[in-house]
Amino acid sequence: MKPWRKHFLLKSILILISLLTILLLLGFKGAEESVITLYPILDSYVSSLEPSANFGNDACLYAYHYHDSETGLTSSTNSYIMFDLSDIPSNVKIDSAVLKLFIIEVPEGVEIELGVHHCRDVPQSEFGITWENAPSFNPTPTDTTIAIESTCHYIFDVSKDAQTAWLEDKKLTELLKMEKSLDEGIMARLCSKQSPFEDRRPRLEITYLVPT
């Protein structure tokens, strides 16, 4: 292909992409805003201390991480939470997604950095997931927060993860973990979807725009 034709083709593609982007933005200009609240279809924690054990029926989730500098051994407990996004209409744009988790207990006077990580792999099942078969996750946290108080909600911005999951398989899975090693025995305990208190169960609040 002659250089001038290659340049012309590339320029045409760029113009087409720009026009499509403008049309998409115009389509959502002045769009109506709607909010949907979703509850987990699966949640469970996994523990390196009991690698073959399943805790899918537990009313609590946990985040724990301890590294013994003398022995070099590390112990961790992570929690998986999955949501089904298929109830979101197909012709909308996800504007934001907030994950709300209720922390039952953190040790008094301790600051625990908690992070949520996107998992593109789907857990096998709530009553089958273990440390040994747990899905991989993005090593970089999507969002973090410092937990210093018990019996209150903490929020995480998972907008980008929700947008990605909605365009792929419509299943959003987040892993909650302690980002830094603390003293042995220090952990965060949270409510799972099995909690008897509905307002304390994990939930995902998604705001989406409906084109007018």
- In the predicted model, what is the mean pLDDT of the chain? 88
Please tell me whether the overall predicted TM-score, pTM, comes out greater than 0.85 for this model. Answer: no
pLDDT band at 14 (very low <50, low <70, confident <90, very high): low
19-51 confidence digits (pLDDT tens): 555 555 555 555 689 999 999 999 999 999 999
Task: Provide the domain limits for residue 14.
Answer: 1-29
Q: Is the pLDDT of residue 4 over 50?
A: no
- Range with lowest mean pLDDT among 55-64, 80-89, 119-128, 189-198: 119-128
Percent of the chain with pLDDT over 70: 85
Residues 167 and 147 in one domain: yes
Residues 146 and 160 in one domain: yes
First-to-last CA distance in the chain? 44
Residues 102 and 186 in one domain: yes
Residues 10 and 39 in one domain: no
CATH number of the domain within which 158 lies: 2.60.120
DSSP string, 160-189: HHHHHHHHTTSEEEEEEEESS--STT-EEE
Instruction: Specify the higher pLDDT residue, 140 or 66.
Output: 140
Number of domains forming the structure of the chain: 2
Tokens 């953190």 identify what position?
Answer: 106
